[in-house]
Amino acid sequence: MTNLVKKAVIGFALASSIGTAAAANIILTDIKDWSASPITISNSSPFTWTHDITDSGYDPESGMSIESALLTIELLDFLNKGNETFSFLIGSEGSSQIFNDQNINNGSQGHAYDIDLVGALSDLDDDGLLDITVSAATGNFQLVRSTLEAVDPPITAAPAAVPEPAGLVLLSIGLFCCALVRRFKR
pLDDT tens per residue across span 71-82: 999 998 876 677
pLDDT of residue 158: 52
* CA nearest to 36, candidates 109, 142, 148: 142
Report, as an integer, the average pLDDT of 53-66. Answer: 88
pLDDT of residue 23: 57
pLDDT of residue 134: 95
> What is the pLDDT confidence band of residue 167, given thresholds at 50, 70 and 90?
low
Is the pLDDT score of 103 beyond 50? yes
Of 10-24, 70-84, 89-103, 119-133, the poorest mean pLDDT is in: 10-24
Q: Are 139 and 122 in contact (CB under 8 A)?
A: no
Q: Are 75 and 113 in contact (CB under 8 A)?
A: yes
Q: What is the pLDDT of residues 132-147, one digit of tens each?
A: 999 999 888 899 999 9
Which one is predicted more confidently, 161 or 127? 127
Task: Report pTM.
Answer: 0.68
Is the pLDDT score of 20 beyond 50? no
Which one is predicted more confidently, 8 or 153? 153
DSSP character at residue 62: G
pLDDT of residue 148: 94
Q: What is the pLDDT of residues 25-39, one digit of tens each?
A: 778 899 999 999 999
pLDDT of residue 2: 55
What's the rounded Cα separation, in Å, for the pair 102 and 77?
Answer: 11
Q: What are phi and psi of 19, to 5 degrees?
A: -75, 175
Q: Are 58 and 150 in contact (CB under 8 A)?
A: yes
Burial 9-44 (b: 16+ CB within 10 A, else e): beeebeeeeeeeeeeeebebebebeeeeebeebbee
